Every structure is written in structure tokens, then in C-alpha cells.
Amino acid sequence: MLDDFMTRATLAGIGVSLAAAPLGCFVVWRRMAYFGESTAHAAMLGIALSLTFELSVLAGAVLVSLIMASSVTLLEGRSLFMDTLLGVAGHSSIAAGLVIVSFISGVRIDLMAYLIGDILAVSKLDLLMIWIGVGVIFSLIIWRWSPLLLVTLSEDLASANGFNPKKENFIITISLAIVVAVGIKVVGVLLIIALLIIPAASARFITLTPESMGFIASIIGVLSSILGLYAAYFFDTPTGPSIVCVASLFFFLFLMLNIILKNKI
């Protein structure tokens, strides 16, 4: 069954969107869209270093994303705001990554595959890695759901109840780094943030509780990746961007519903 490239691609897409959607809700609630995007950009540096030293691209991406995200969090408050620091770190990383890749001689590297993904080239090993990543993120988010929610609502309330906000925040950071890494093959470092925030933002229009928002976002994410994949197959368009386009269509659909029903949820 896994010998069919479309089956592998579909399973990869479903996996990444399943992990991205509930995590994306936290990204939306905590206004971390730019944080997520910069983390994803930092992955490009990780990819470049891995290619140079012939290491695992996945491990390199996770590691560099984590280092970037953690150091920005540590530096926050030192005369510069978070978004500025992220802008510096994220863009320096992607630029450095692209420069380093240009030094690699020999094999010509298809940069576009890393920037916007190459889901049709997902191997069995890639698929295994993606689903391990999905498993880790899903377990983390479900295990820490209530504390994460409480920290998102108020770090003070969470702390008074005995939770450590720094620890909970780090769970979000580490999950982001993993989702970026496993998303490289599917939608690439430029578009992974879309799979995080677009399903979550669409789900916001029709939901009343955090749990339902996470659930609906997952459904929208999965549908987007399946529909996007087959649309790309039939229209011969790039797959990653097609998936994101379908997700955006969902967003507009729910936005319109929200406006028409004047439903101020």
C-alpha cells in the first residue's frame, strides 16, 4: 500500500496537518504567528548545515529552530521587543542558510523542495519520521492541554495553581520546532506556518470552546491536505501551495458564514 507515492503523500499530509492544527490554536491564542514563522525560517539554516555536514536534515532543522526560538525567548526584554528579535534571528537564519547551501558543490540541491515542500517525494522513512513527530506533538499537547490553556489565559493564575509557565511555554516551542521539521517535506519552511494558523483561524469562526476549536481545526487541516493534494495532482500545480490554497478557501468560507449569520462568536 505504501508503495504508491500518492498514498504516502496523503498520509504525510494528514499527519502534518493533524499535528499542526491543535498546536496552531495555541499559536493563534498566544499571538505567536511571527514566532512560528521565524522558527520555521531558522529551520533553513539547519537544513543547510545538515546538507553541508551530511547529517539528518530533520535533526538539523529541529535543533537550529529550537536554538533560535530559545535564545530569542531568553533575550526578550533586553531593549528590543520580541518581534524585532524574531525578525533579526529568523531572517538572518534563512539568509545564512541560503548562502551556505550555495557553497555546497557537487550535487545540485533543489532549494524549492525545502522552501515549499515536495510531498510527492516522501519516502517510507520520511513517513515514519513524520508520524513519530506527530505522535510526540500530539502526546505533548494532549498531556499538557489544561496547563497550557491556563498559561495561555494567564501566567499568574497558572503559577498560583502550581504550574511553571516557563516549562509550559517550552512545550509549545519544542512542538513548534518539531512540526516545522516534519512539515519541510510536506509544505516547506515558507508555508508551514500557514498549516498552523489557517485551520485554527478558520475554526475560530464557528466554535465556542478551546477543545472544539482544536478539533475543528484538525478536521479543516486534514481536509485541506487531502483536497489540496488531489487538486495538485489533477491540475498539475505545486502541491504544498495547493494545500495552503485549499486551507485559505476554508478560511474565507467560514469568514463569509460568520459575516452572513452575523454570528458574533
Partner 1 sequence: MLIEISKLEVKYGSKKVLQNINLTLNAGEIVTIVGPNGSGKTTLFKAIIGVIPFSKGKIKIKPNLRIGYVPQQLKVDQTLPITVERFLKLATRDNNDLKKMVAFLGLKNIYREQINNLSGGQMQRVLLARALVDAPEILLLDEATRGLDQPGIAAFYQKIENISKETNCAVLMISHDLHVVMRASDRVICVNGHVCCEGTPENVATSPEYQTLFGSNIDGAFALYRHKHDHNHDVEGKSRI
Q: Which residues bind partner 1 (CB under 8 A)?
A: 28-29, 31, 146, 149-150, 152-157, 159-162, 165, 201, 204, 207-213, 265
Q: Looking at beta carbons only, is 149 or 255 nearer to partner 1?
A: 149
Q: Tell me how far apart the alpha carbons of residues 232 and 9 are, in angstroms, rounded to a whole number.
A: 12
In the complex, least distance from residue 237 CB atom to partner 1, rounded to whole angstroms: 31
In the complex, least distance from residue 155 CB atom to partner 1, rounded to whole angstroms: 6
Q: Looking at beta carbons only, is 37 or 118 nearer to partner 1?
A: 37
Q: Looking at beta carbons only, is 159 or 248 nearer to partner 1?
A: 159
Q: Tell me how far apart the alpha carbons of residues 148 and 134 are, in angstroms, rounded to a whole number.
A: 18
CB 193 within 8 A of CB 37: yes
Q: Looking at beta carbons only, is 157 or 256 nearer to partner 1?
A: 157
In the complex, least distance from residue 146 CB atom to partner 1, rounded to whole angstroms: 6
Q: Looking at beta carbons only, is 7 or 146 nearer to partner 1?
A: 146
In the complex, least distance from residue 148 CB atom to partner 1, rounded to whole angstroms: 11
Backbone angles phi, psi at 166, to 5 degrees: -60, -40
> CB burial class (10 A; 0-12, 13-18, 19+) of residue 215?
middle
CB 194 within 8 A of CB 180: no
In the complex, least distance from residue 202 CB atom to partner 1, rounded to whole angstroms: 12
Q: HEC string of 147-169? A: HHHHHHHCHHHHHHCCCCHHHHH
Q: Looking at beta carbons only, is 78 or 108 nearer to partner 1?
A: 78
Q: Tell me how far apart the alpha carbons of residues 60 and 72 are, in angstroms, rounded to a whole number.
A: 18
CB 49 within 8 A of CB 63: no
In the complex, least distance from residue 88 CB atom to partner 1, rounded to whole angstroms: 23
- Residues in CB range of 218: below 8 A, 6 or more apart: 17, 18, 21, 22, 199
